[in-house]
Amino acid sequence: MPKSISWILFAVVIVFGIALMGFAELMSMWGWPSWLVAFANNVSAFLIATLAIAIYWDRKGRESFFREVDDNIESRIEASEAGIENIYRKFSKDPKWDRFFEATDTVDIAIVRGNTWRNTNSGIISNFLKSEANSINLYVPNIENEHLMDIVSRRVNQTIEDERKYILRSLSEWMDCGLCYGNVRIFQIDFVPSYTLYLGKYDAIFTLYKNHPGRADNIPCFRVRSAGHLYEFFKEDMRQLKSHAKTVRLEKEGLSELCKKYGAFPQRE
């Protein structure tokens, strides 16, 4: 209802209510039945009370509405400045990984395992690696560091030995991708990533880890674009990881030796 019409209606109601209250006094003076006088008084009081409540709620409702609109606009501005593009319920499937890989020629990944994600998106990854101009760089915890392996194994409720074998098998499968296309490189780092990060040229996707032990399938993830300050944070974090962490490149020969040493699988001929 337009504001002018609503105030005209309010004025009509209050005038009618006051007039009815005055008329009830006249009815009493004229000797009308007491029940009829009481009815007129009650109706007039009801109209005036209802009008007062309506005016109060109209004013508070407008304030609440504009406050909500203002908060919503402010939240959208903050999300835009951060560069948040989307939030997904399941990182391995929900994000449009094909679009992510199409928009870049290099993907830097800080990860612990990555089997679920790689197996789910194996076709997309293979198509990406078919181009000689494209490459994937993996940064994983140093599997020979007992302290790091203890942290990782506790995170997924595994023994150190089993978790080390699991990671080695995962790295071997990644190395097989590199042997097929020649553009997958694996580096070890002397710390455990606080989150999983997939960094492309124009956007990044990151997922969080649970605080309690065990695996989880429905892990949410966030996609941010390069125009926001979150992307700059992840870009700088990856740069620090590359330049300051002690990294050791894993060639196929070195990986095979590690697999043989820890019994991850029989040594390949």
Q: What is the DSSP letter of 54?
A: H
Domain ranges of the chain: 3-82, 87-262
User: Can you tell me which residue has the tokens 């007992």?
Assistant: 146
Q: How confident is the model over 39-76, as pLDDT tens digits?
A: 666 666 666 667 666 666 666 655 565 555 555 545 56
Q: How confident is the model at residue 181 (pLDDT cuts 50, 70, 90)?
A: low
Averaged pLDDT, 78-82: 73
pLDDT given at position 5: 43
Give yes or no for residue 110 having a pLDDT over 70: yes
* CATH architecture of structural domain 87-262: 2-Layer Sandwich (3.30)
d(CA 84, CA 204): 10
- pTM here is 0.67
d(CA 88, CA 219): 9
> Is-contact 133 105, C-beta < 8 A?
yes
